[in-house]
Structure 1
Amino acid sequence: MENRRSRGMVPLLALHAAYEFYRLERKPPVTAGLIVANTLIYLRPKFLDAILPNLDEVWFNPHLILKHKDLKRFLLSAFYHLNESHLVYNMMSLLWKGVQLESSMGSVEFASMVATLLGMSQGITLVLAKSLLFFDYEKAYFREYAVGFSGVLFAMKVVLNSQTDDYTYVHGLVVPARHAAWVELILIQMIVPGVSFLGHLGGILAGILYLRLKRSYRGPDPLTTIIRGLTGVLSWPSRLARSLFGFRRRQISGRGTTGVSRRGRSFSGAWRCTACTFDNTQLNVCEMCGTERDVPVLSPIRPSSRSGNLSLEELRLRRIERFGR
């Protein structure tokens, strides 16, 4: 299968995505990776063309999946798109939803959620198509061909809007955010009758099921734990390299210096603690050791090799008594 050439929509998607990621203080890597993966699969560059299956091999078809137990169709069909507009529309939606969800959940949990929603939405769609055989809908759904990330996007929409009571726009209509996915399901089916109604419905039901399972299960998400473990293993070489060759930053605690005067600044209101020689600013209690100030009147600090009238031995003994060492 030859690689596709963009008609201009994919570069616009790339520019828009780059602009959105540039504005973000924390870049969501999983969302970016999903957008890049879907786009590369659609464009099929030469270095991937020999590896990627053809579209005919990955169509989501309930009849073929159940007949041949075809996991390739079950999993990969979500990452294939029919045309450029199909791809760009889905990726723009993924960019909007993914940035918000990944920023609030964290990358590891977000990756776990996407993987879970992918399997659940595809599985529910398969079950629905099989169930409709009892109502003589075999031709319409059980043997239907579909591809695209829409099912996962509908599930993500349910998760994203589950915690808000606000209103949102769906194709020009103002609706409660919690019901936006259902309204969009109906409107898209009316506007574009050829889309996979069952796939979108499966995505909505997957989102609802995911939320119910998450609320009922208090323990750690097993898939999240696995992903976090794999991430830790993969990042181990870089952590080792940083520990071996990296430079540690100097850490300074407190707001003053110990034992020496500061140059180039005026400290007319500062005083030096007679116990630990810490240069304090305004408080009448030493910020370092807690010793009360001896002289009630503020006096400027003058460079001195000694601290008050204390000898070095007395100063050492006071430090040992104060800090226990």
Structure 2
Amino acid sequence: MQRRQGRVNAGLLLLLYQISQVGLQNIPSVTLGVLALNIFLFLNPVRPLPEVCISVNEGFYRRNWQRLLLSPFHHADDWHLYYNMVSMLWKGIMLEKKLKSVWFAYIIAVFSVLIGVVYMVLEFMLVKILDDPSYEMTCAVGFSGVLFALKVLNNHYNPGRVSSVLGLQISSKYACWVELVAIHLISPGTSFAGHLAGILVGLMYTMGPLKKIMKACAGI
């Protein structure tokens, strides 16, 4: 899970180009801050990837809870960063304007940690169901789980839209599920459990008690 060194980070350069095309003045503050944080930690990681990724073994058994905070904001390589941050750019612009910056920042913070917890629960279930302890060691990094959760929110606040997934026109209500399967088939190395955790947390917010709990904790 080490980054390839000694090469031009084409994905990072393309990401910076995309951001410049949108214009910094057109990107809401929290979205811009998330982009900046991810880019900064890509260039200046807190620790090597094997020491920030989240897994059942590291997060639960070894009690390295700090990984819940670090893993979403570190990426395996520049293209991992590019695809996640371009997705964050557009989702953030739409959702932050809808939800307002303070609440959107609150959502990002809660989702980032909670998705890691749900991810560990899913991997632990796989260990028990499949009787395969290797799932305890499966270590994940990246912001994609949060992005799947934000996709659920975006579809919730913009119902009736149609999304294109691999050229297929899918109702936005089901697009995240189709995309979950499609990404896993195209790139088997991606974290299926991490993406599923994002969808589940998004549903916990839009259909479950999470939004009420967050409001209660915020004193609203």
Please, what TM-score do these two structures have when normalized by structure 1?
0.61
Instruction: Quickly say closer, same or farther: Cα 1:214–1:28, change in 2 above 3 A.
Output: farther
* Equivalences for residues 76-95 of structure 1 within 5 A: 76-95=70-89
Q: Does 1:203 align with 2:186?
A: no
Structure 2 residues not aligned, in runs of 5+: none
* Greater RCO (CA < 8 Å, at least 6 residues apart): 2
Q: Distance in 2 between matches of 1:150 and 1:191?
A: 15
Q: Distance in 1 between matches of 2:123 and 2:135?
A: 6
Higher helix share: 2
Contact 2:204–2:210 (CA under 8 A) maintained in structure 1: no
Q: Distance in 1 between matches of 2:113 and 2:101?
A: 19
Q: Does 1:19 align with 2:21?
A: yes
Structure 2 partner of 1:10: 12
Residue identity (%)? 34
Contact 1:165–1:177 (CA under 8 A) maintained in structure 2: yes
Any idea what SS the aligned residue of 1:94 has?
Answer: helix
Q: Does 1:107 align with 2:77?
A: no
Q: Distance in 2 between matches of 1:66 and 1:4?
A: 35
Shift of 1:216: 7.2
CA-to-aligned-CA distance 1:101-121 (integer Å, 9 cap, x gap): 001111001001111211221
Paired AA for residue 174 in structure 2: H
Contact 1:59–1:73 (CA under 8 A) maintained in structure 2: yes
CA-to-aligned-CA distance 1:264-283 (integer Å, 9 cap, x gap): xxxxxxxxxxxxxxxxxxxx
Structure 1 partner of 2:207: 212
CA-to-aligned-CA distance 1:77-103 (integer Å, 9 cap, x gap): 111111111110100010010110001
Structure number, greater radius of gyration: 1
Contact 1:118–1:152 (CA under 8 A) maintained in structure 2: yes
Any idea what SS the aligned residue of 2:163 has?
Answer: strand
Q: Distance in 2 between matches of 1:64 and 1:84?
A: 25
Instruction: Quickly say closer, same or farther: Cα 1:215–1:197, change in 2 above 3 A.
Output: closer
CA-to-aligned-CA distance 1:16-61 (integer Å, 9 cap, x gap): 112213573xx411111111111111112xxxx6xx2222211111
Contact 1:108–1:224 (CA under 8 A) maintained in structure 2: no
Contact 1:4–1:43 (CA under 8 A) maintained in structure 2: no
Q: Distance in 2 between matches of 1:76 and 1:218?
A: 24
Q: Please give the root-mean-square deviation of Cα atoms over the aligned residues, in Å.
A: 2.5
Please, what TM-score do these two structures have when normalized by structure 2?
0.89
Q: 1:120 aligns with which of 101, 110, 114?
A: 114
What count of residue pairs does the alignment treat as equivalent? 217
Structure 1 residues not aligned, in runs of 5+: 226-325
